[in-house]
Chains A and B, each alone.
Chain A
């Protein structure tokens, strides 16, 4: 903890800093998903009583409250339904600008959030004109994969 001498131009404050590390247990369902990513596979689960297919996989269906029954591999392609360009990021986050998209992989009922490339970040550019919603995109794999969501480096437009 350090004290800031910031009393001339603003109300007096004192700095507090947290530097804590956690190991979050993935559990059985997400462990399998992450192992799939390491092997360049996108694994999903399906609800046992409805048609919903979840990616990232879930052990239970959020609509039916029934367990999901079985794994399936989804294609690496899908439709970019919506994205935003983060022109301004935050401390400790990725270097702005970057584009985050919601991607409907073929066969999935949910959206997968991930980075998308193919947007011109020139200030003032119409980002949606360059990458219209509905654009087909596919996963680009990271060279080194360790079993985490960024094993997919990003999604890029097909063709």
Chain B
């Protein structure tokens, strides 16, 4: 009977634009799974369940990725659990797998996040189908239109400038340029970010994530049963998820991320985190739009309200700072749907395993934070805290 769960292996594929992607969804998923097995050292027959999922309509299917699982090369008789929580599916995959292992019903669960943003010829059109029907869908909102409400309200309340938004995007691009698994691996200047095509005020295209194709997988295992594995597992010390109202108008206040702040309090208490800024060695947060990163840093207790941008501009969130954040370049530079939402957990786990790509590894990282958010108007939030297992023992 296991009461703990750990990430014992991670597999990432390289990311590209849909146009350049020569592999199919199934081939990318196979590649991520094989990479996970290779990283963990686990034999395929030691895996006893798969958790995967997708987002309705985004791939031209509502199959929930069920069509992929038999083709992964790890056996035909594995139980499959499908998760579909819209944009947060990726983060919730790991949480479901961890609960299966913690409960003792499963020993090793493979978590698979596929390239959900792959096929749609106009992704904003697909996202609009997931916005609240009847009341809000007729108004014409895709993902970045919904995101722009928070950007506008936060700017109004705290004075965040366009230059501030550009600074966030510039920092993300600098980080992504060092990550071999990132999609947009080029640096940008603030002038280039500001001169980008306006999408939905105040956001320009370079302030918004790309549509990427990649797959991410991980192995969630019983940490007492890892003798045959090759990695230093990342213990999932604490985790949780939380939901807001579905209607955008139910949020009440777009200028703060109260739902995330509530969740952070709950998850920090589980892991006995009392000084968030001092207790994490690496943070990976799901901030596909530039304004989200300062807002999330505040909700997570790393900065006072309105102070997120000061933390970013201080260099604290860069490599070598006190709170290295999104060393991967984050979803602002690589966003492949379910794979993109699983990625923060994958990178946060890799950091404390000591197995992140050398160019983005924080030396000696022992505790990290992973975050996901998504759904219409970012209805759902999820968080997990990872610790290097050597420390917990």
B-contacting residues of A (Cβ < 8 Å)?
9-11, 13, 15-16, 18, 24, 26, 30, 56, 62, 81-94, 98, 100, 102, 109-115, 123, 127-128, 133, 148-150
Q: Is the CB of B254 within 8 A of A91?
A: no
Distance in angstroms from A55 CB to nearest chain B CB is 8
Most buried by B among A90, A94, A148: A90
Rounded to whole angstroms, the CA-CA distance of A102 and B251 in the bound complex is 10
Rounded to whole angstroms, the CA-CA distance of A62 and B148 in the bound complex is 25
B77 at the interface (CB under 8 A from A): no
Stretch at the interface among B163-171, B196-204, B275-283: B196-204
A-contacting residues of B (Cβ < 8 Å)?
18-22, 57, 60, 119, 121-122, 124-125, 128, 133-136, 138-142, 145, 148-149, 151-153, 156, 197-201, 245, 247-252, 254-255
Q: Which residue of A lies closest to B139 (CB)?
A: A100
Distance in angstroms from A92 CB to nearest chain B CB is 6
Distance in angstroms from A129 CB to nearest chain B CB is 12
Distance in angstroms from B388 CB to nearest chain A CB is 39
Q: Can you give 23 A-B contacts (C-beta < 8 A)?
A: A11-B21, A18-B60, A26-B134, A56-B249, A62-B245, A82-B152, A83-B152, A84-B145, A84-B148, A84-B149, A84-B201, A85-B201, A86-B141, A87-B200, A90-B124, A90-B125, A90-B142, A93-B124, A94-B139, A100-B140, A102-B149, A111-B252, A149-B138
* Contacts known (A62-B245, A102-B248, A111-B251); A91 close to B122, Cβ less than 8 A: yes
Q: Is the CB of B200 within 8 A of A88?
A: yes
Rounded to whole angstroms, the CA-CA distance of A66 and B149 in the bound complex is 29
Rounded to whole angstroms, the CA-CA distance of A43 and B248 in the bound complex is 18
Q: Is the CB of A128 within 8 A of B124?
A: no
Q: Is the CB of B20 within 8 A of A11?
A: yes
Distance in angstroms from B356 CB to nearest chain A CB is 29
Q: Which residue of A lies closest to B127 (CB)?
A: A90
Q: Is the CB of A133 within 8 A of B60?
A: no
Q: Is the CB of B156 within 8 A of A88?
A: no
Q: Is the CB of B122 within 8 A of A90?
A: yes
Rounded to whole angstroms, the CA-CA distance of A82 and B377 in the bound complex is 14
Rounded to whole angstroms, the CA-CA distance of A110 and B249 in the bound complex is 6
Which of these, A24, A89, A109, A123, contacts B134 with CB under 8 Å?
A: A24
Additional pairs, 10, CB under 8 Å, beyond known A18-B57, A81-B153, A113-B248: A15-B121, A30-B135, A56-B135, A82-B152, A84-B151, A89-B140, A102-B149, A111-B249, A113-B247, A149-B134
Rounded to whole angstroms, the CA-CA distance of A123 and B197 in the bound complex is 11
Q: Is the CB of A93 within 8 A of B248?
A: no
Q: Is the CB of A85 within 8 A of B140?
A: no
* B residues in contact with A30, CB < 8 Å: 134-135
* B residues in contact with A102, CB < 8 Å: 149, 248-249, 254
* Contacts known (A11-B20, A128-B156, A148-B138); A88 close to B197, Cβ less than 8 A: yes
Q: Which residue of B lies closest to A100 (CB)?
A: B139
Q: Is the CB of B200 within 8 A of A85?
A: yes
* A residues in contact with B21, CB < 8 Å: 11
* A residues in contact with B254, CB < 8 Å: 81-82, 102
* Contacts known (A91-B125, A98-B140, A112-B249); A149 close to B135, Cβ less than 8 A: yes
* A residues in contact with B197, CB < 8 Å: 87-88
